[in-house]
Structure 1
């Protein structure tokens, strides 16, 4: 985490102006393309949306794009030493300022307040992610772009929110625009990160709307009073960074409809590098219960050789390993496999291996193959190839376990029903057991016994 204070002088705007940042390539989306899209904007605190993306919000209004803003906190902790204004009073002031600013930037935008605690967003990651997924649900993945704080901005709430947005965007195949705020203070032109960003030029009316919106946040740009603890939070030198005739974003285009096995390593390495357990495998009752049901559904007490395809961090792997004389867990994510390997280390005959399926495949044959929460991360052609590999390497009478989340997997072509249907049709193996509930389905197929 970068250490800085809002009172730091930081990098001057003249230094940034001399860096060449104003010559960054423009965001490659035309006004017509913007008009056909929906933008979901995340703000950790009132004024984030204005400083980081206010001009762009005004441009989106002019283009006719749909905009929804999710405000996480009221920014009530901005003046912790105030002797004149309580956090509750400040929250009310800042929410009023936020409403005025957003209304001026984009009168057609809607906004929702999540009522989370300022400075503590890291404790609410699941709620934020659920709110964001709900906001983008029901629309084609490639028609939605998320706008969020830069995930390495240096402020803990900004970083948390940016990481959540990046994860949801990657999983759903949505576009992502990350806006820096405090980066302009603590970083400098010699930090090469900005070289890969894009620029959004602002028309005169966009700049004017942004300046009016900045002026609406009086609790941040002016002192609350002349008493100690009520000093101005955002200095004039800092605000110079946001008077530019352009805004800069880290741009990640939509990957909707194009994701395949080749993308798995990149996507899931990124997810696992941010969090050790991004899907709460170790803590969620849903995940623990699902593992118990999966293990209970196995028709045999023990197996000679087991293979788990897409083992992730190895929570199911370590339980399967106890039922197999030999066990191998494979995954495309090196970051996830590092954890799986640690979990399997106590089993001498169990191993984890980095493979991107179906192009890569382990040697040997298996009497237990587990494909859990993985099949829909392949294209139909890739799943067909994977099933052919399974058929060729599963022993006669062997067990194939299929277990998948039943809700839509945005950004990928397949879902649970499609994966299981393809397996039944292509393999033609009898179903030993099938269990469905609202959130997942679990199915056991048995390879035919050897015929005489």
Structure 2
């Protein structure tokens, strides 16, 4: 077997293994705040294939939107940072990035991947860096809202903690999450595309109480 064929076969086997594992680990996770199952998913490194070219396209496009909409934020709080794949990109777009995830396994790898970032095993309601209004210049929730029982409460918390906010989610989730996002005052929207895959991006500036 040639090297190219061997590499392709290894890639296919890894993809199949990841799909099988995630089918098991994510049972009952959608819209449920099931932190234990999300942590279980991270028993496998990179369970969502965030190292893929498709996800890198999303990270780069998100950074472009941040730069165009907000300039260079002094501080960014990233919800659902996972193993830090997108954190590394956000770190290029701001002065200081903070990341939270409910998975201790994910946070351990994030620490190793993005050493200049500050991480905590937490959600937006328990993050340890202060609760004052507009504590952060920007709060992001990329590929996170699917897993929450009450995404509206999280967006409200984002509005309180961040001068600005940004979310992304996979296009098929618009039916469930679109109405929640539309309630945000001053919302701007766009799409990110990578091949046949699309994500909705929503961002805003919170003027209430500023």
Q: Give your verdict on TM over 0.5.
A: yes
Q: 1:169 aligns with which of 15, 18, 24?
A: 24
The structure with higher relative contact order (CA 8 Å, sep 6+) is: 2
TM-score (norm 1): 0.39
Q: Do 2:80 and 2:102's aligned partners in 1 also have CA atoms closer than 8 Å?
A: yes
- Relative distance call for 1:260 and 1:419 in structure 2 (3 A) is same
In the alignment, structure 1 residue 341 sits paired with structure 2 residue 114:
no
**Equivalent residue for 2:3?**
none
Q: 1:269 aligns with which of 27, 39, 44?
A: 39
Q: Do 1:435 and 1:443's aligned partners in 2 also have CA atoms closer than 8 Å?
A: yes
Q: 2:60 aligns with which of 265, 284, 292?
A: 292
Give RMSD over aligned pairs: 2.7
- Offset, 1:322: 2.4
Aligned to 1:316, what secondary structure does the other structure show? helix
| 1:123-142 equivalent positions in 2, closer than 5 A | 124-126=13-15, 128=16
**Equivalent residue for 1:325?**
95
Distance 1:256 1:354 in 2: 18
Offset from partner CA, 1:259-315 (integer Å, 9 cap, x none): 511x12x22222211x21122212x11111111111111123311111110001111
**Equivalent residue for 2:155?**
387
Q: Do 1:297 and 1:444's aligned partners in 2 also have CA atoms closer than 8 Å?
A: no
Q: Do 2:170 and 2:200's aligned partners in 1 also have CA atoms closer than 8 Å?
A: no
Offset from partner CA, 1:158-198 (integer Å, 9 cap, x none): xx5xx753421333x3xxxxxxxxxxxxxxxxxxxxxxxxx
**Equivalent residue for 2:126?**
360
Q: How many residues align?
A: 195
Distance 1:353 1:256 in 2: 21
In the alignment, structure 1 residue 260 sits paired with structure 2 residue 32:
yes
Structure (1 or 2) with the larger CA radius of gyration: 1
Structure 2: gaps (5+ residues): 1-5
